[in-house]
Structure formats: C-alpha cells, structure tokens
Chain A
Amino acid sequence: MKLYLKIWRQKDASSPGKIVDYTLDGVEGDMSFLEMLDILNEELVSKGEEPVEFDHDCREGICGTCSLQINGEPHGPDRLVTTCQLHMRKFKDGDTIVIEPFRAKAFPVIKDLIVDRSAFDRIQQAGGYISVNTSGNTIDANTIPINKHDADEAMDAATCIGCGACVAACKNASAMLFTSAKVSQFALLPQGRIEATERVQNMVRQMDLEGFGNCTNTGACEVECPKGISLTNIARMNREYLSAISKG
C-alpha cells in the first residue's frame, strides 16, 4: 500500500520543529509500524538525507521505549499495543498518517520523534522502591503469605512499562496513571506498606515538580495504556495520599 506520512522533524531540543511530508510506497500489512519507518529511513539514507530518529528497542512491546503519537493517539489506533506491535494492517492504502512525538512540558523533545522521559525516572527515584538492602540476608520468601488476589493486583499494576502513553493521551499531560501504578504495586504488598506514607507523598511531590498536569479523570490514559493499567490505581493513590496527609 501507499501511505502519506506527515512526520514531525526537529533538529534538536533548542531548534524549532515542523511537520514534513513523505510518501511511502510498498508497505505491507505484516510490517510493524516501526518496520514501516525503517523502510522510510532506508530510502532517506539512500538519498543522502538524515533519517527520522525515533526511540525503539525491544520491538516486542515490553521495554517501553517506543513512543509515537500516531494520528492523534499514543501508539496509534490499536488497543493494548505499543507502537512496535502496531501492524500496518490497521491502515489502508492511501491513508495519511500524522506522526508526532509525545507532547508534554515534562517530556521535552530531544530530536525528531524522540522525547526525554527522565521525569519518570526521577519520580521513581523519589520513592518507587522498598528500602531493603540487596544483601539477600532477609527472611525466606514464603514467610509472609500474600493473598493471591492482592498479589495479582500488584502484578497488574507492576506491568507498567513506563512508556508515557498515559501522559501523551491525557489532555492535561498528567502522569497520574504512571505514578499510581508504582504506588499501587507497593501499597498492595505487605513489604511495601511499611514506607507507604512517605512513598506516596514523595512520589506525588516529584510528579508535581516535573510539571505534569492535574488529573481530571477523563480516563484517556487507561484506554491508551498498552498494558491496560486500570484507573483503580489512580483511585488507590488518591486514597493513599489522603490517608498519608491526614496522618500528617
């Protein structure tokens, strides 16, 4: 099939960017979206032009590196997939596809379609861990039984890949789904309860400092999340935070 691509090109963080039009022929349905871009880049390189830079790594939907806003949606029109798992069979011959970087003040563009998501790292550094030493000198793993339901829910929250689609989709560029997923994972496990009060406050403080917007419960994040992280995590974080600040 033949596609008309409108791609955001930007030299570096300090330069202005713009949409550039490309036409690409010979795209097949079995290709992933990124393989389609590979072909475009191969063409650009052979013409001596600079290829379109985009973030990607594992290409199997788990590393969370790929991060494209495709036709107005993070990771494109398909559900529960990352851009690398989006296949071209979701498009048809003659389609126009607008490809932009994830947009948020807290995610500045580095080049073309690549954004800086280190804000997410800093939120995790503020408290997204359990403060135990890695010496291995701890209790046996089966000493504290954990209710299967809680363990499963913690796992569901923990599947977040930190791609930033939630921020990109949110009209407020809010990072609540991301932050709440980590807060939830630990809040649900007995090991994580010990520091729960400080953790939620520290992580929320960092999230606010990074310049993400406020949550207005539109639910766009949940719909666009490639891992299906649930809004119940945000509610849980709201609860955790309320109880933390009421404890003072």
Chain B
Amino acid sequence: MKNDNFGKKVVGLIRDNTVPLMFILICAVCIPISGFSLPYLINEIVTRMGRNIFLILALLIPIMSGMGLNFGMTLGAMAGEIALIFVSDWQIWGIPGVVLAMILSIPISVLLGAFCGKILNMAKGREMITSYILSFFMNGIYQLLVLYIMGSLIPIKHFSIKLPRGYGIRNTVSLLNMRQCLDNLLAVRVGGVKIPVLTFIIIGVLCLFIVWFRRTKLGQDMRAVGQDMGVARDAGINVERTRIISIVMSTVLAGFGMIIYLQNMGNIATYSSHSQIGMFCIAALLVGGASVDRASIGNVFLGVVLFHTMFIVAPKAGAVITGDSMIGEYFRVFVSYAVITLALIMYETKKRKHKSLVGQQLQQAQKEADAHE
C-alpha cells in the first residue's frame, strides 16, 4: 500500500516536472557531444545568470495576480533602452550612468505599465495574447520615438549615437564605457570562473523583496485576485487597480532588468534588443518548471541554468552531429518555442480538467442533497 502511494507520487512528480526533466535529458546528451570544458561552461552559465535572472524575476508578479505570462515585459525593456540611450547621450558612464538610467526608466516604465494594465483589464481572460500583441504595437510606437522623434524633437547631442541624416538613433548604441561595470565591481574569481558578486547581491535583494512582498497586504490582494476575481471583488479588493499595479511593478522591474542585461552585453541593438527578450525570459521560466499560474524563485534559477546550458551547447552539439552549425541554431530556437507551446497546452488542459472536476463535484453534491429530501 505504502509502496503504491510512493509509486503514484513519483509518477505525479514526473508529470508535474516534465519540462525540466526533458531539459536535463537534452543537456545531459548535448554537453558531452559539444565537447566544451566544464570551467568554460560554468563561466558562461554564471555570466548568463547574472545577465538574465533579474529580467525573469520581473515575470513573477503578474503570474501571482493571475494575469499569466507577461509578454508585455517588452514594454519595460523598451523603457530601459530609452533611459540608456539618454544616459549615454549625456555621457554619464560607469555606475552613476547605470543608476541614473534605472531612475530615468522608472517614470517611462510606470507610464507604459499603467497603459498595459488598462488594456489588459479590458481583455480579461485573454491577457496573454493581448499583452503579446501589445508588445508589437508598442514596438511601433518605440520605433516612431527612437527613429523619428529623437534627434528632431528630443535633443540628442552626440554624433556617435545619432544617425548621419540628423535625427534618429543608430542601429547599435555602444555602452563600452559602461560595459560590465556592475559585474566587475566586487567580482570574485574562483578557479577561473568570474562571479559578478554585486549583480548577484542585487538579484538577491530582489528575491528577498518578492518574498516579502508576497506577505504584504498588496501581495495577498494580488494572490486573491489571481485565485478568483469575483471573490476578490466581493471581499472589497479593487481588482482593476490591483491588476494594474502588478503590471506596473513587472514593467518597472523589467526595465531595471534590461539595464542590467545591456550593461553586461556592452551595447544596445536599438531596434532588436527588446524584441526577443520576452520570449527567451518566458521560455527560461517555463523550463524551470513554472506554469502559467504558478511560478517560484526556484523555477527562475533552475530555468536559467537549464535553458542557457541548452542554449550554449545546442549549436555545437548540432554541428558535431549533423555537420551543419545552423541545425543547432534552429534547434534551440525550436526548443524555446516548443517549451512555451507545451507549457501553455498543459496549463489549459489542467484548467479544463479542474473545471470539469468542480462540475462533477457540484453534481455529486446536488444528487446527495436530492437524496436527502
């Protein structure tokens, strides 16, 4: 009997963690084939952890309030980029530049986040597709701003970032004087592996903030809204406002995350840096075992490690197996999309199963009540 229970538990555990297990398998196969040395791999993964975790953590709050995966985090990324463009135009470099960019990004993020929240409140039940389309829509507005308005209406002084025609921003804005300034401050080398301690401290602070925030009144409200909007409203929670706040917080955090990401990269690809960021962050989170309605900080860390290991080794492994490096490139793109697809499908089927279960229980209860009469 006990054994049976144990077996069931194992099966349940495997079923709940299909995606991470699949990824562990992929990585286990690809790492030896790729032939990368362990220190190299660890170094790469640590770098990518510092680069990406903050961004992914920004996704947690909307999940808490039941708004699903926030594809609108791209909006925050745009805010971060706009702030960085200004700061690099003013030639403020190093840590002060990063801090100033973060401060500058806040009002832009709040504005964009509030707009996003308003729109999503009008599209309850299909937040994800709406936020996804919204990110495309905002990309158009962003292009309008950066390509036409900056330099013509908004003064941009520096010629290194302005297009030769006199207005608009160049395709890449170099952040060379800001490159890895957060990562290098307090960096520690352990056996050839550079650990960006300060970046990890910032990430740690954010993790603590999220843990603390879950226990505050607002955090509890968000969870209540995420559980059931109707019940939350009856309990006197302003559902619309709570949802907007959760998106605003996510957008602001995504803005910060993008600045951390870009200071590590060392340059801004003005028109493409933000476009893929949402997809990769969401894929990484899902790889860590999160689902559309449930995600923890542990999922973020596990996801980053697994997803980026795959990302590093897949092209090389693909090249070794098939003799064509493009296969590996396409493979990792395919896997990112497939993971999101799979997670979305699992979430929807689970939701439907749950719904029908509740229906059956209701029916049962009604039958019993009838029998009593």
Do A and B assemble together? no
Interface residues of B (CB under 8 A from A): none
